[in-house]
């Protein structure tokens, strides 16, 4: 049975390892630039739920942050949801997503929003099974700001 809990600072190295695994799964390993030191500096905004195995190993993560949308109000943005391949098909992703949704409800948010890659049909089907509405109209925009 896996336990889902809010991450602590001591979890940051393990979380970063899973973030790197997820980036590799997405085919973009070079895009991860975050460091444990940066996560520590940003601990007031960096939020994460972790799924722990019975042995205490972190096998899944859900990173998120609070957002405000001008059309609907307070929300949670789910940045990454990832479960290691050897731990999939055990309900861990569902527990992580339910934990983030539960937090959003507790904080009186109007919605939880996230992205899913068009090619990831397993994730799309999972999200739809959880009741998510997937919008295929909007496109993402990023403006990268490099540190000085």
Q: What is the model's pLDDT at position 148?
A: 64
Active-site amino acid positions: 127
Distance from C-alpha of 99 to C-alpha of 105, rounded to nearest angstrom: 10
Using CB atoms within 10 A of its CB, is residue 58 exposed (0-12), middle (13-18) or buried (19+)? buried
**pTM, full prediction:** 0.90
For residue 70, what are the contacts with CB-CB under 8 A and spacing of at least 6? none
What is the Rg, in whole angstroms, of the alpha carbon atoms belonging to the chain? Answer: 15
74 within 8 A of 107, measured Cβ to Cβ? yes
Whole-number pLDDT of residue 4: 97
Predicted confidence at residue 146, as pLDDT, reads 74
- What is the chain's pLDDT, residue by residue, as a tens digit (148 residues)? 789 999 999 999 999 999 999 999 999 999 999 999 999 999 889 999 999 999 999 999 999 999 999 999 999 999 999 999 999 999 999 999 999 999 999 999 999 999 998 889 999 999 999 999 998 887 777 777 777 6
- Helix (H) or strand (E) run with residue 133 in it: none
Q: Order of strands, edge to edge, in the sheet holding 111-114?
A: 3-6, 47-52, 58-69, 73-83, 111-114
């Amino acid at each position: 049975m896996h336990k889902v809990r809010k991450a602590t600072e001591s979890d940051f190295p393990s979380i970063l390892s899973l973030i790197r695994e997820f980036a590799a799964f997405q085919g973009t390993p070079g895009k991860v630039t975050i460091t444990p030191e940066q996560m520590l500096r940003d601990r007031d905004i960096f939020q994460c739920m972790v799924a722990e195995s019975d042995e205490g190993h972190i096998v899944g993560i859900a990173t998120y942050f609070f957002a405000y949308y001008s059309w609907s109000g307070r929300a949670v943005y789910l940045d990454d949801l990832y479960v290691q391949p050897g731990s999939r098909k055990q309900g861990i992703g569902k527990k992580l997503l339910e934990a983030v949704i539960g937090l959003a409800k507790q904080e009186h948010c109007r919605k939880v929003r996230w992205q899913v890659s068009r090619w990831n049909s397993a994730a799309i089907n999972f999200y739809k099974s959880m009741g998510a509405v997937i919008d295929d109209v909007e496109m993402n925009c990023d403006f990268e700001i490099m540190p000085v």
